[in-house]
Structure 1
Amino acid sequence: MAQSRNLSPTLSPARVIARFAVRIVLLAAFAAFGSIGFGRSLAALLWMSVILCITVGFIRREPLFRTSLNHWDESIAFGALFALVHVVNDLA
């Protein structure tokens, strides 16, 4: 009997937001010790997080536009934070 494998179980929004918050705290901690400065280090780490979330979204075959939160939504949030940090770095 063939079983359908669901590679993308739906997580609760609170769990996805908590995962995002933990990642932000870790990225900020690593950026604090960056040799190129906090802003540039944080921007590079946020850009890598965007790529990571997109890759995981592809691998897990998560739907792009869905009512529940997933890695695609995280990649958009990381991208928005990257743009904000990039603009702030250019102004300073």
Structure 2
Amino acid sequence: MSQSPDISRAPSTLRVLARFAVRIALLATFAAFGSIGFGKSLSALLWMSIILCAVVGLIRREPPFRAALNHWDEAVAFGALFALVHTLDQLI
């Protein structure tokens, strides 16, 4: 079946938010079983997620700062979470 031409290939905002929530849940689950502690494991996994989202954004040639959310926005959100977790891990 062919798709109608008016359907945008850009991911919808809800799809991006759902993808982000699922990734956060998976990262927290994997970090809980990390041998170096939850904070350090989560920081490392968030750092890898930042790199992954940036690479995917580059490969798909998604423009940053668009009205619709994309991989660049996910990378920024993962970066903010990384900064928070890393700072809290240093304080505790």
Please give the TM-score of this superposition, normalised by the length of structure 2: 0.90
Give me the whole-angstrom Cα distance separating, in 2, the residues matched to 1:20 and 1:12. Answer: 12
Which residue number corresponds to residue 37 of structure 1? Answer: 37
Is 1:87 the counterpart of 2:87 in the alignment? yes
Give the gaps of 5 or more residues in structure 1: 1-7
Whether 2:56 is the aligned partner of 1:56: answer yes
Could you tell me which residue of structure 1 aligns to residue 17 of structure 2?
Answer: 17
Deviation at 1:65, TM superposition (A): 1.6
Counterpart code for 1:52 = L
**Equivalents in 2 of 1:60, 1:11: separation in Å?**
12
- 1:23 is matched by which residue type in structure 2? R
Alpha-carbon separation, structure 2, partners of 1:19 and 1:25? 10
Q: 1:65 matched to which residue of 2? A: 65
Percent identity of paired positions between Structure 1 and Structure 2: 72
Q: For the residues of structure 2 that align with 1:33 and 1:68, how far apart are their CA atoms?
A: 34
Measured against aligned partners, the alpha-carbon deviations of 1:33-63 in whole angstroms (never above 9, x if no partner) come to 0000000000000000000000000000000
Name stretches of at least 5 consecutive residues in structure 2 with no aligned partner: 1-7
Structure 1 residue 9, shift from structure 2 partner:
2.1
